[in-house]
């Protein structure tokens, strides 16, 4: 009896140890490439790269060290620091030269994050509830870490592609077209590091989760251009006790009311046709019919009106937009306003004419309001919907997530791909990282990425890089 009790106790102890060791065993199973990715990702996320206090040079140096540990020679890596704390890393895995290089682009900088606003330190990777949470956990250190991880694996495997693989991890993407923007600076000052690339992969699109399962994958092939204006109304002013009809605030309000009602012309570009044709399968009823009509060129004004009235994203895909974003006026509570100013942000379709947009705004402003252009849009020609690129991205998508559609898209915002498209490098934004509805928190509080999505994104990009490289 005592021996039986001892045996039962022993079995219970073994069962307890097995249960206790299961997480450790699971970790051991992912301690290969996924484990290496985790270490790279954690180090990168926990390197502060904000403009105010961060250092992309330090991040670039740490990623260079990771590549050296994987077998890269010092001659295959270069940390370029044109401005203090604004360093960039460029690495090259040599191919046989039979095809032009493939560029892998990600930015190292992140937007600001205040500790007091976050649930935890934004620069310490938090791992709980199935998420990685930190500033930059998605934008854009997920792709940066994945690319470092992939190049390290390919180096260890002795992979010899037809194309050179160029990795560029860059500074100041979040600040736009500033002198220290890494991609912009490299294209102007060290063009030899990048400009022999034929095509590239960058941020710009991911995948959608519905009920926790992959629902659609997206690939960015174009992006809108940003252009800013001011509408300015001026007046001699006077005492508020003696109001007159000619009021600077009223004049500006009239111009803004006309702007609010204005719709720029619809332009159905190649990417819009592809988007609506492929995304129609995810819709139903009249919306699906209207989307198919846009996709196959049958849409009329009634179709465009239905699609764009109720859906701001559809509207932004089909026309240039201009919207008031800042407002200021007057100088005292008891004085008639001497001036009133509104900032207008426009997002232009790739082929729309900036001069035509400005002319429309001039007309909307009217005779009493001055229109002042305060920024020039940076040209960003769309990348072509190349059959070989589409086949590669769609092939990996179907291999990993059978049955979900690949949908080409145009970003309504901007990425550093615009600088490279102007060099003739065909850039495609695709990550294979999926997010649930409303869960993409880039630039926001408690930015996070599903842990499973990060590792699946690594597998997706590893397979895609190898296909495009050969």
Radius of gyration of the chain (CA): 26
Strands annotated E in 81-179 = 88-93, 102-107, 126-128, 131-133, 165-170
Helices (H), 348-441: 354-365, 387-400, 417-421
Question: 3-state class of 326 per DSSP?
Answer: strand
pLDDT beneath 50, residues of the chain: 1-30
Stated as kind and residue range, the H or E segment containing 231 is: strand 225-234
Q: What per-residue confidence (pLDDT) applies to 336?
A: 97
Tell me the pTM: 0.89
Q: What per-residue confidence (pLDDT) applies to 439?
A: 84
Domain 28-223+380-469 classification at class level: alpha beta
Q: What per-residue confidence (pLDDT) applies to 31?
A: 56
Dist CA 185 CA 166 (whole Å): 17
Q: What does DSSP say about strands 434-435 and 225-234: parallel, antiparallel, or unpaired?
A: unpaired
Q: What per-residue confidence (pLDDT) applies to 195?
A: 77
Helices (H), 125-181: 141-157
> Taking the domains of the chain in order of start, what are their residue ranges?
28-223+380-469, 225-373
Q: What per-residue confidence (pLDDT) applies to 468?
A: 98
CA angle in degrees (0–180, nearest 5) for 183-185-191: 80
Dist CA 299 CA 306 (whole Å): 11
Residue pLDDT, tens place only, 23-71 = 333 333 345 999 999 999 999 999 999 999 999 999 999 999 999 999 9
Q: What per-residue confidence (pLDDT) applies to 329?
A: 97
Protein fold of 225-373? Alpha-Beta Plaits (3.30.70)
């Amino acid at each position: 009896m005592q021996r039986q009790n001892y045996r039962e106790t022993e079995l219970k102890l073994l069962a307890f140890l097995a249960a206790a060791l299961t997480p450790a065993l699971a970790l051991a199973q992912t301690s290969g490439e996924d484990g290496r990715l985790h270490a790279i990702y954690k180090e990168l996320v926990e390197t502060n790269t904000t403009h105010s206090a961060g250092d992309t040079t330090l991040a670039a140096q740490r990623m260079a060290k990771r590549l050296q540990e994987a077998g890269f020679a010092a001659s295959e890596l270069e940390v370029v620091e044109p401005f203090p704390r604004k360093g960039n890393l460029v690495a090259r895995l040599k191919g046989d030269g039979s095809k032009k290089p493939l560029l892998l682009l990600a930015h190292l900088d992140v937007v600001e994050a205040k500790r007091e606003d976050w649930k935890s330190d934004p620069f310490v990777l938090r791992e709980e509830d199935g998420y990685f949470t930190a500033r930059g956990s998605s934008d854009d250190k997920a792709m940066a870490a994945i690319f470092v991880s992939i190049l390290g694996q390919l180096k260890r495997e002795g992979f010899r592609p037809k194309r050179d693989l160029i990795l560029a991890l860059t500074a100041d993407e979040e600040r736009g077209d500033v002198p220290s923007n890494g991609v912009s600076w490299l294209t102007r000052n060290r063009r030899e590091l990048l400009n022999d690339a034929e095509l590239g992969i960058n941020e710009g699109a991911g995948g959608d989760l519905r009920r926790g399962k992959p629902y659609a994958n997206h690939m960015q092939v174009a992006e809108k251009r940003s252009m800013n204006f001011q509408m300015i109304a001026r007046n001699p002013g006077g005492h508020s006790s003696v109001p007159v009809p000619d009021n600077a605030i009223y004049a500006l309000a009239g111009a803004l009311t006309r702007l609010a009602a204005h719709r720029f012309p619809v332009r159905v570009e190649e990417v819009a046709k592809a988007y609506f044709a492929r995304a129609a399968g995810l819709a139903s009823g009249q919306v699906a019919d209207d989307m198919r009509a846009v996709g196959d060129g049958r849409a009329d004004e009634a179709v465009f009106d239905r699609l764009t009235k109720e859906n701001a994203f559809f509207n932004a895909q089909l026309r240039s937009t201009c919207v008031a974003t800042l407002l200021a006026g007057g100088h005292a509570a008891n004085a008639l306003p001497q001036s009133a100013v509104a900032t207008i942000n426009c997002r232009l379709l790739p082929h729309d004419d900036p001069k035509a947009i400005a002319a429309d705004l001039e007309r909307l402003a009217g005779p009493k309001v001055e229109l002042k252009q305060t920024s020039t849009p940076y040209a960003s020609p769309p990348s072509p919907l190349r059959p070989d690129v589409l086949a590669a991205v769609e092939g990996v998508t179907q291999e990993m997530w059978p049955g979900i559609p690949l949908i080409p898209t145009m970003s309504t915002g901007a990425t550093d791909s615009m600088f490279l498209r102007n060099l003739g490098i065909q850039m495609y934004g695709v990550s294979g990282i999926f997010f649930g509805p409303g869960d993409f928190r880039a630039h926001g509080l408690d930015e996070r990425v599903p842990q499973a999505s990060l590792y699946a994104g690594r597998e997706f990009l590893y397979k895609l890089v190898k296909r495009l490289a050969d």
